[in-house]
Amino acid sequence: MSVMKEFREFALKGNVMDLAVGVIIGGAFGKIVDSMVKDVIMPLVNFVAGGQIDFSNKYFVLSGAVPAGATLAEAQKAGTVFAWGSFVTVAINFVILAFIIFWMVKSMNRMKRETPPAPPPPTPEDIVLLREIRDALKK
């Protein structure tokens, strides 16, 4: 029974709950970035390149009889392929995600720096009185 109690205490600590929330939000944020790359950035890259780039179906045939012009899924069924286009898409996702996180951390650091330092607490009256007595005795 003590193991369950220890586990409950561990699981309910603030850091563990913060981590769980971060993982869930990170997963959802990853889906947003995937959609942004697939639905926004890659179509723009295709438009600029003349509509000839589709990284999702780029691959090299390593073995097997893969018909020319086959999609990646068809090529994977027909033989062994090196799907470099998927890697390029994931790499673009990573770069975008890293860039967004960089700007988030930078803005958070800026907000932390912009808070003015707290003024020092006022000197207690007994200390002020003792200083006055000290100064009077010096004279």
Q: Amino acid letter at 93?
A: N
- Asked if residue 131 has pLDDT above 90, the reply is yes
pTM of the model: 0.50
CA distance 117 to 111: 13
- Asked if residue 46 has pLDDT above 90, the reply is no
pLDDT of res. 135: 93
CA distance 72 to 58: 7
122 or 70, higher pLDDT: 122
Give the CA radius of gyration of the chain.
30
The residues spanned by each domain of the chain are 1-52, 54-139
| Average confidence (pLDDT) over 63-85 | 77
Q: Which of 96, 86, 112 is nearest to 29 (CA)?
A: 96
pLDDT (tens digit per residue) in 94-112: 887 788 888 888 887 887 7
| Mean pLDDT value across the chain | 80
pLDDT (tens digit per residue) in 17-33: 778 888 888 888 888 87
CB contact set of 103 (below 8 Å; sequence gap of 6+): none
How distant is the alpha carbon of residue 71 from its chain centre?
A: 32
40 or 128, higher pLDDT: 128
